[in-house]
Amino acid sequence: RRRGRLAEAAALCSESLRIRERAYGNDSPAVAASLTNLAALQGRMGRPAVAESLCARALAIRESLLGNQHPDVARQLCGLAALCLSQGRATEASNHYRRATEIYAISLGSEHPSTVRTRSQMARAAAAASAIADAEPATESGSFYQQQQLNNNNGRLGNGQNCGGSTSGLK
């Protein structure tokens, strides 16, 4: 039921986008707003690649109309960062948050709530990126270890024992 409502909302947002593009041209603030709304819905519907594409287009419009140091550009970067983070691309998310933090600090001040909030999001994304980077070598060596175990045990993972005791019946 919820998915049906999201799909209906996405259809309405798509229609709104088409109307705004015809009325104002492809590069207007109204089109950027519609793109952002549609991106949010696509993200909630589990279509992050579509959402990211829409968000990137909205960012390009905002940058061309407002310049690279406008708070609306920073807000759009935060949306793009959240999409990247939801897809496990923490380093890219951290970079978008970093740029947004710099824009907010320049345009609104370093103690403004938007600056502080985005700085915190950047720190969380950077920590996630660091955790992913730290985990990759362990994952790679773990995969190597599992492959060695499979090779040494005629295709069975492990050494025939587990934490629960017997593995009888398992192949």
Local confidence pLDDT in tens for the 171 residues of the chain: 667 899 899 999 999 999 999 999 999 999 999 999 999 999 999 999 999 999 999 999 999 999 999 999 999 999 999 999 999 999 999 999 999 999 999 999 999 999 999 999 999 999 988 876 665 554 454 444 444 444 444 433 333 332 333 333 333
pTM of the model: 0.74
Q: How far apart are CA 171 and CA 169, in angstroms?
A: 7
Write out the two tokens for 117: 């909030």
CATH superfamily label, 69-154: Tetratricopeptide repeat domain (1.25.40.10)
Question: 66 Cβ partners below 8 Å, 6+ apart?
Answer: 72, 73
- Residues 102 and 94: their CA atoms lie apart, in Å, by 12
**Backbone φ, ψ for residue 165 (5° rounding):** 110, -125
Closest to 65 in 3D by CA, of 35, 95, 110:
35
Rounded Cα distance, 155 and 122, in Å: 44
Query: Domain segments of the chain: what residues?
Result: 1-66, 69-154
| Phi, psi (rounded to 5 degrees) for 158 | 90, -170
